[in-house]
A and B are shown apart, each in its own frame.
Chain A
């Protein structure tokens, strides 16, 4: 597939930002207003505008032209992450939660990993939650794949970190492992997807679904925060908000958009926050509850040869745990500071860590969590996110850490460090395994999480879910949700394809 960079041609026209908008209130009418320009929002915009509806999308973050991104993590956190990358979940562990921000949302900062959700999960959604449309999963996923073009990571861009993983996993009997499917047709292996693709080689939503939507007349207002969902007689009729200067935070324009339908696609943290602050759609009491994420951990290893982890696909290879299907190992790269924060030592040893960085390899894993969290919005500012790691998930974490740690020893490393506090670079697998098995406190694990989901669960029972199986909220007519908040459970794989497939199904309901 070919990446479509034409959206930039609409800047100042159908795409307006704080920098392009001629001063004055934004006062408009349309068929559908979509709040959030991530994978759910832009897929919805494309499908609804192609169905002939007049669509307006509003997005809190900015629109970024091709070649806007560099390797700088600090720049990325400030500009293309929610809450400037400072989002944290509190509970029985301290877990940073990363989510993208801007036109493209999470697809700006993901590694392009493109899995279909396993059948056993979707079957459960059908039988337990009444999501019958997933019977049509092959058609939905095929349409997504045609739009974003996932392919197995090419060998020429896989990089040294992938080769280490191939060596290790190949020596583990019964382990399925292969090149990662990613929607990165222009990848040249810069190893820094999480800062935005510096080579513009990723088929993120802003260069796939967005141009399709713009060609059919969709209008997009960036730097625009929505505060109020306007309702009349329990029916959504529009939104109110503000366009803000992204630097000064001053109000550039007030926003009043009247619409026949309001679609929330602000993600699994911001969507329930908006509902909570508006006191809407919560007769079930489930808005902001049932938060699932993809929590992960991993290990790093010093290899004898140079790995140059920054040179090669960020996440080029994966492996499934042979005994636990809810553990998925994925290689990863990150900037040196991220490794230093997790595995480096302050003081004199910091220099050794950095001098050895070119020899460092890394492999993480994520689990399909059974734990649940909650999101509580205050009147303003970031939400409070509570998340406790369940005992069963703790078991999966320890299995996962053992899995990737052993892999590195089999790959030939003589210095492997599980991402556990107070661990060291172990020189033997037995010693490392003994240490991992001695860990009893989940807070000792250096966890991270991404892909929040489930906080406005979809289902056919209004007592236990927020959204009906056609995307409408149970409580408010013409108010839809079409993002990862809908997922009734965790997926066990990276979610972008499932979010998009969900949005295609919901858009069909709205259009007809």
Chain B
């Protein structure tokens, strides 16, 4: 996915997002220094990832919460391993989720500062958007967070999965 397509994907969500992206591309996030122990994610991005992780997987029914299984480290490692272009677009998506929350529900507060239930509502809106490209972009993020979460031993155990091969002796 190239930048133009990605911006198109986020388009239709109003001038606000365009302004936010313009501001971000303008240099605010692009060159931020990675946080300590991170290869790519800045300290601010770590906060966004933690906030998304907890909202995506709040940890009901005995499942671990998303922010208990090291998702910032996972997301950082994953983004560092893919092409810089794609990684930057996904980082841009993190910022878009964070900044667009300012315009939702008259909250005037960024996503990572919102209460849990607000954050779940916001992520659900991305997940169920009627704008296909916006939904598709979020699905990519959901897959990445899902990998980090579902591959964690504590999650596998809590879900009661015995990853076995049917014909293995």
A: which residues have CB within 8 A of B?
71-74, 77-78, 83-84, 86, 88, 90, 93-94, 154, 156-159, 187-191, 198-199, 308, 310-312, 335-338, 340-342, 344-348, 350-352, 354-355, 357-358, 378, 381-382, 384, 421-422, 441, 443-444, 446
Distance of A386 Cα from B28 Cα, bound (Å)? 31
Are A94 and B136 in contact (CB-based, < 8 A)? yes
Q: How far is the CB of A344 from chain B (nearest CB, A)?
A: 8
Main secondary structure of the interface of B (DSSP, over half): helix
If A336-B161, A382-B86 touch, does A187 touch B58 (CB 8 Å cutoff)? no
Distance of A161 Cα from B61 Cα, bound (Å)? 26
Counting residue pairs across A and B whose Cβ atoms lie within 8 Å, the total is 159
Are A341 and B132 in contact (CB-based, < 8 A)? no
Cβ-based interface call for B63 (8 A): yes
Residue of A72, A157, A198, A346 with most chain B CB atoms under a 10 A cut-off: A346
Q: How far is the CB of A204 from chain B (nearest CB, A)?
A: 17
Q: How far is the CB of B128 from chain A (nearest CB, A)?
A: 6
Within 8 A of A (CB), among B122-169: 123-124, 127-128, 132-133, 135-136, 139-140, 142-143, 146-151, 155, 158-168
Are A340 and B150 in contact (CB-based, < 8 A)? yes
Within 8 A of A (CB), among B1-31: 1-2, 5, 9
Q: How far is the CB of B60 from chain A (nearest CB, A)?
A: 4
Chain B residues with Cβ under 8 A from A310's Cβ? 161, 163-164
Are A337 and B146 in contact (CB-based, < 8 A)? yes
If A83-B86, A337-B151 touch, does A352 touch B61 (CB 8 Å cutoff)? yes
Cβ-based interface call for B100 (8 A): no
A-B contact pairs, 21 of them (CB 8 A): A71-B163, A77-B147, A83-B82, A83-B83, A84-B86, A86-B86, A94-B132, A94-B136, A156-B166, A188-B167, A336-B159, A337-B149, A338-B143, A341-B142, A341-B143, A347-B124, A350-B56, A354-B159, A358-B161, A378-B2, A384-B5
Chain A residues with Cβ under 8 A from B63's Cβ? 350-351, 354-355
18 additional A-B residue pairs with CB within 8 Å, beyond A74-B148, A94-B139, A188-B165: A74-B151, A83-B86, A84-B81, A90-B1, A90-B5, A189-B167, A311-B165, A312-B166, A338-B146, A344-B146, A346-B123, A346-B124, A346-B142, A347-B58, A357-B159, A358-B159, A384-B5, A421-B135
Chain B residues with Cβ under 8 A from A422's Cβ? 128
Q: Which single residue of chain B is at the shortest CB-CB distance from A376?
A: B2
Are B82 and A86 in contact (CB-based, < 8 A)? yes
Are B120 and A348 in contact (CB-based, < 8 A)? yes
Are A347 and B123 in contact (CB-based, < 8 A)? yes
Cβ-based interface call for B33 (8 A): no
Chain B residues with Cβ under 8 A from A421's Cβ? 128, 132, 135
Distance of A311 Cα from B168 Cα, bound (Å)? 10
Distance of A185 Cα from B142 Cα, bound (Å)? 35
Chain B residues with Cβ under 8 A from A72's Cβ? 151
Are A384 and B2 in contact (CB-based, < 8 A)? yes
Distance of A340 Cα from B141 Cα, bound (Å)? 12
